[in-house]
Chain A
Amino acid sequence: MVSSTFPLDGHSEPVEPVQPKAAVIDQAASRWIVNPAFDTLFVFGGMLWLLFAIQIFFFHYDNPDLKAPGMAGVIAYALSVTFFIGNYLFADSHTIATYMRIYSTAENRKRFHLYCYVLPWASLFLFICCLAYPQAAGLCVYIHMMWVFQHYVGQTFGISLIYCYKRGYFFKSYERETYRWFMHSLSFFVITRILCFRDYSPLNFFGIRLPFFAVPQIWNEIAMVCFVGMSIAFVSVVIAKYVREKQLIPIPTLCLICTILAIGASAGFANSLIWLYGPPFFHGSQYLAVSLGFYLKEKGLSEGRIAEVGSHLLREFVSPAGLRYWGMVISAGIALYVGIPTVLNAYGFEIVIVATIIQACVNFHHFVTDAAVWRLKDPISRKVLIA
């Protein structure tokens, strides 16, 4: 998401405002994407850490026991229900939000013709290959496992930039590049860790046997050096900016960075736990907050009420247009990740395996499309995203 972070041509254009800064700040009717409470819980990681803390508090580093006596059993059940609701509301549905963006208007369909009409066929072809050849499924899921972290990092970077712009924290070109490459270096480190170490690369993922590329460890060591170097550079930029311009990096941006660092750096049970609650309550929820906000503000822009929509976004989320959007993405998410596996189950395919393959194939399309549709460089996208 917000692919000025990852331009396809590799050339990183600075996201200089096309209008004077004052005008941009003026447009930013809200300092939040939705509102303080919603953002804290669902955009920069509050809910993820809350659930993480509850689980650790009650069950330590162990799986919750639904049959535990007393409060622990109730909490285990509540966590389980929350997780499943989160998956339906945010995780499964967030990929559909991409389709709502590209298929929403005739202009978008024309603009994103490749992503609307060509690439979905590639995903379908891949899906059929994965069903027919278990090795292909393993490879797809293995690649997906690495790519997904880069996708999380990219989205986190984009949303953190939105907070910076909303709060008048403007990066100079080299500062932004430092930030960008700090995030890239994190992806590089985590991906090479999966490629180099068997411990970080599961043998079996939801019933699918995964390959292991066994890349020489030197690559991970190089990645580690890059990451440490870029971390120092980024911290220096933030401190220098504070000293020179008396500007502090926005708290939401900092929370986003800390959360993604924790996802990347954690290991063992803590990592599993973060990957349990992270997809719905960090990545999916933030994506939906931004994309539903975009959808409603884009409508508001055409109706000349973008400022009103932007400043009352939570109210707009439950307006008829907002509810229609929720209905569409949730239903389509269920159709994709539950309906199709359930039908294919009758043909002898395991539900979990099919759902995992679908996730990988759909996400390949989602990752590529995301990189094209959310561009802060595009004036209209920027205006709507930052409003």
Chain B
Amino acid sequence: MVSSTIGGTGSLDAPRETTPKAAAAPYPWIISPFIDLAFVCGGGVIFFLAVNYLYLGWRVPDSVHNDPASWWLMTVGFLAQHIFADSHNSATYLRIWGSAEDQARFKFHRTWLAYSTVPMFILGLSVPGLTGTFVYIYLITVFWHYTAQTFGIALIYCYKRGYIMSQTEKEIFRWFMFSMVGFVSVRSFCFKEFSPSNFFGVDIPFWGPWNPVFYNIARFLFIGMTVAFVIMLVRKYFKENKIFPWQSMMLVLTVAGLGLSRDMANAMFWFFVPGFFHGSQYLAVCLSYYLKERNMPNGMNSWDIGKIALGAPGLKYIGLVVLSGVFFYVGIPHFFMQIGFNYSLVGGLVLACVNYHHFITDAAIWRLRDPRCRKWLIS
């Protein structure tokens, strides 16, 4: 999401350059303070990680039958999975099939890119082992996708709160995030223990082990970029008296926790992050965009925005994406299971196909460089 962050041509124009100074200050939240804190910045993840740790210790809830805490956490997990995680892919479709203008602009993503998932799906069903490869590619790229989205949303908060970065500062921020992705990805190629061998019943290959020198290089780059990023923040504070927005900081720390944590802590992060961080923040941004595109007045107060988001248009939107998510991740595997295929295998294949389309489409549709997109995302 917000692909100016990883835009091919590099330059990301700050909104200051195109927005008249006299214009009203942007609304500081994406939806509202509470929703942003809980579902965009990572508050929900931190809260449930704390609850998980307090009641279960370093253990991921694995069955509702074990104890009351597991029951509640699993229930929360199921709900988050269906309401936020599975459904957030569908939000992309509502964007590219949204207004007539978007339909025309993203014709390739609606047609050829979407069609290309059909042979991919058929290949996965018919060639043994290929589903595992597709899921492996998904697992390799998913952290990059999470980080890119986090970076984009962190930038939105920066712009909304007047923390405008120079081109160099933005590049330092971008490459700090990239270096984290590089470190996590290279680590998974160098060490088998960082690469899952089975993903919900699908056997995963391992394209390694790479020479540990690559790991050391990635680690060195990551540490270097972290130092550069921290220096940049401190310098900006002393020079311009500006503090990096705490919402952006929470976003960066949550995604860093996901990438850098190990063992059971990492499993706990992966239990809550897809629903309460990645999926929910994506839906919040898409919902905000969807409502603004449909003429939600600019500068509307947070209470009213929250009310609209939880009113008929917001609920209709959420209903649509949740139903589509259930169709993809429950309906299709269930249908193929009934005609003789393995449920987990088809589930993994759907995940890989849907996300292949989602990752590429996302990189095209959320561009802060695009004036129209920037207008709705930052206003």
A residues with CB within 8 A of B? 66, 77, 80-81, 84-85, 88, 327-328, 330-332, 334-335, 338-339, 342-343, 346-348
Contact = CB atoms under 8 A, between A and B. Distances in A.
A334 B331 contact: yes
A84 B338 contact: yes
B21 interface: no
Given A81-B339, A84-B338, A346-B74, A332 B323 contact: yes
Interface string B313-331: 0000000101110110011
B334 interface: yes
Nearest to B339: A81
Contact of B326 (A77, A80, A88, A339): A339
Contacts of A84: 335, 338-339
B210 interface: no
A331 B64 contact: no
A330 B324 CA distance: 9
B82 interface: yes
Contacts of B326: 331, 334-335, 338-339
Given A334-B327, A342-B334, 6 more contacts: A84-B339, A334-B334, A335-B327, A339-B330, A342-B330, A346-B78
Interface in B324-367: 324, 326-327, 330-331, 334-335, 338-340
A346 B64 contact: yes
Contacts of B65: 348
A85 B324 CA distance: 17
Nearest to A336: B326
Interface residues of B, number: 19
A342 B330 CA distance: 8
A95 to B, nearest CB: 14
9 contacts: A84-B339, A88-B331, A88-B335, A328-B320, A328-B323, A331-B323, A338-B334, A343-B82, A348-B65
A346 B70 CA distance: 12
A335 B332 CA distance: 11
Contact of B324 (A88, A327, A338): A327
Nearest to A330: B327
A334 to B, nearest CB: 4
Nearest to A351: B334
Contacts of A66: 340
A80 B331 CA distance: 17
Interface of B: 63-65, 74, 78, 82, 320, 322-324, 326-327, 330-331, 334-335, 338-340
Q: Interface of chain B, helix or strand or loop or mixed?
A: helix
A80 B327 CA distance: 20
A265 B74 CA distance: 48
- CB-CB nearest 6 A-B residue pairs: A334-B331, A331-B323, A331-B327, A335-B326, A339-B326, A339-B330
Q: Interface of chain A, helix or strand or loop or mixed?
A: helix
Contacts of A346: 63-64, 74, 78
B330 A334 contact: yes
B346 to A, nearest CB: 13
A77 B340 CA distance: 10
B78 A343 contact: yes
B324 A347 contact: no
Contacts of A85: 335
B24 to A, nearest CB: 33
Contacts of A331: 323-324, 326-327, 331
Contacts of A332: 323
Most chain B beta-carbon contacts within 10 A, residue among A66, A88, A348: A88
Nearest to B71: A347
Nearest to B79: A343
A362 to B, nearest CB: 15
A66 B327 CA distance: 26
Nearest to B78: A343
Nearest to B324: A331
A128 to B, nearest CB: 15
A327 B97 CA distance: 13
Contacts of B323: 328, 331-332, 335
Nearest to B77: A346
A88 B117 CA distance: 21
A88 B333 CA distance: 13
B339 A80 contact: yes
B74 A338 contact: no
A92 to B, nearest CB: 9
Contacts of B63: 346
A318 B3 CA distance: 34
A182 B340 CA distance: 44
A346 B82 CA distance: 14
A347 B339 contact: no
Nearest to A346: B64
A339 B82 contact: yes
A85 B339 CA distance: 10
Contacts of A330: 327, 331
Contacts of B324: 327, 331
Contacts of A338: 326, 330-331, 334
Nearest to A84: B338
A334 B328 CA distance: 10
Nearest to A88: B335
A85 B327 CA distance: 13
